[in-house]
Amino acid sequence: MDMRIGSGFSFPVTAPKTSTNKTAAGELSRLSDKFKGYSFFAADIRPGMIYGSKNTTNVAISPQFLKKMADDPELEAEYEKEIENMKRLDEQNVRTHEMNGGKLIAQGWAIDKDGGISSWSIGNPGGNIRMKSPTEYANELYEKKKEKGNVVLKHRANTAKNKPSIRFDRKV
């Protein structure tokens, strides 16, 4: 539609953008159609709640927040960008698991009634992960500090084995 001002100036006028998904169910359906490979659920998540499957990325969205998204096109656009970002983070999560010899079993996201976003994942670590004992970790830390030159060794005279004591000094 064109609007004319005075004698000859006209410019296009567009109606303000409104969402056509006036219900939470409509919003959920639209998101499911738009983001393939993702399973969307309307749910208020609480600790220990189980939802979704291991074949897709699972996104649980509070029904109250779905309604807010359906009623507010700007909020809807903002969270669509967040879901696009979720896709990138999910791909990175899969690569990280595979790089370490593991396998990602399932993953998902939750959006609460206030729009807060949290994520979860379940993975099988594979064979490349080995837990270090506190002693091994301390020895590695000691070697790194020793290479940097900020370790002072001090012998304790009152110990039976005369083991060195390690103290880390900061260089200023």
> What is the spatial distance between Cα 37 and Cα 91, in angstroms, rounded to a whole number?
12
The predicted pLDDT at position 131 comes to: 64
The answer to whether residue 13 scores a pLDDT higher than 70 is: no
pLDDT tens, residue by residue, 98-133: 887 888 888 999 999 999 999 988 888 775 556 677
The predicted pLDDT at position 7 comes to: 44
pLDDT tens, residue by residue, 73-102: 999 999 999 999 999 999 998 888 888 788
Would you give the distance in Å from CA 137 to the centre of its chain?
28
91 — phi, psi (to 5°)?
-60, -40
